[in-house]
Chains A and B, each alone.
Chain A
Amino acid sequence: MLTILALASVILLGIVPQQSEAIVIYTGWERHALVGSDIRLSCSFFSWRWTSDDVTFSWSYRADGARDSISVFHYTGGSPYVDNKGPFRDRLEFVGNPGRRDGSILLKNLDYGDNGTFTCDAKNPPDIVGRASSVRLLVFEKVPIQAGVITGAIIGAVLGLLVLVVVIYYLMRFLVARRVFNLSVSKHGKKGKGKEGSQQRQ
């Protein structure tokens, strides 16, 4: 009885992980960069299995408006292979650490023609079922002002000015009332209370 139970549990443990096996790949969603700068596109994955020695990373690039994608990077058998014929020759560098499940690449000296979608696909044998993940690259001449900064600044400035005007108005009213009170009392030469007394003492 016990042996049958042990056998059944071993078989179950063998079967269940295979069904929940699926590799999950993480890249960014969108990356912004300035013309002429470098950018690091990160790619990492989650897998239930240990990182195998045959882990592979694969980056492909589809330009904005293009129909198909080209392969620009491949890591397999422990060595990285970078693009040496395509649009990124001499500009691509592998900066990842496959042992730590990091397959990031570094793009140097960006240009407007590099706008597009980069797709990372990673495989961790025997964990090979998974969806590739894409990151969109946007190259700018200058970094655009974030949405709402100027809006908030203008609204804040005008409301601040309004508050300032109100405060100054009430302050002036308060000061004028004080002075008028002092003036009329000193004109009539009466002894006053409070402020007028202190004024005469000075």
Chain B
Amino acid sequence: MLLLLLGIVILHAAALVLLFVSTIVSAWTTGSTSSSDLWNNCSTISGGYHCDPAYTGEWIQAVQALMILSIIFSFISLFLFFCQLFTLQKGGRFFVTGVFQILASLFVMSGAVIYTVMSPNWVPVSEAYGWAYILAWVAFPLALISGLIYVILRKRE
């Protein structure tokens, strides 16, 4: 029982860490001379490394908001899990925890989808997607599975 609990918490924490790293690190798109992420477009052209803030475009701000919201919801879900662990009746389901975690995974998915669709607008098409972008896509199924486990799980003892 304790092992299962530990496993679930580790899964949740892993999804949360992936979300954090993906949102903050500057590697959503990488090319030979530049890298950009949700917050900056950095490039090394004409002898100098300079970054422009990603203010151009309403969609990039929507992606920023969705990623931040997914982190917030995942946090709230972790907090609610520990609350419900101690206050739930025997046989009860961690329903609210699961709902928040599933919502977080949906936010990550919509953020990644919007970024995929709109990225030709603000980075050249020739550049490849970076590893932070891939982390976002990995965090989505992890969070979804974690949320579903919470919804199915019943409290024992």
Contact = CB atoms under 8 A, between A and B. Distances in A.
Interface of A: 144-155, 158-159
The secondary structure that dominates the B interface is helix
A155 B68 CA distance: 8
Contacts of B68: 151, 155
Nearest to A157: B65
B138 interface: no
B55 A158 contact: no
B53 A147 contact: yes
B64 interface: yes
B61 A158 contact: no
Given A154-B69, A155-B68, A144 B62 contact: no
A144 B65 contact: no
Contacts, number: 37
Interface residues of B, number: 13
B56 interface: yes
Given A155-B68, A158-B69, A150 B62 contact: yes
Interface in B40-95: 53-56, 58, 61-62, 64-66, 68-69, 72
Among A146, A149, A150, A152, which residue has the most Cβ atoms of chain B within 10 A?
Answer: A150
A145 B69 contact: no
A158 B71 CA distance: 13
B38 to A, nearest CB: 9
Contacts of B58: 145, 150
B55 A150 contact: no
Question: What 6 pairs between A and B have smallest CB-CB spacing?
Answer: A154-B65, A150-B61, A147-B55, A151-B65, A151-B61, A151-B64
28 contacts: A144-B55, A144-B56, A145-B55, A145-B58, A145-B61, A146-B55, A148-B61, A148-B64, A149-B61, A150-B65, A151-B61, A151-B62, A151-B64, A151-B65, A151-B68, A152-B65, A154-B61, A154-B62, A154-B65, A154-B66, A154-B69, A155-B68, A155-B69, A155-B72, A158-B65, A158-B69, A159-B69, A159-B72
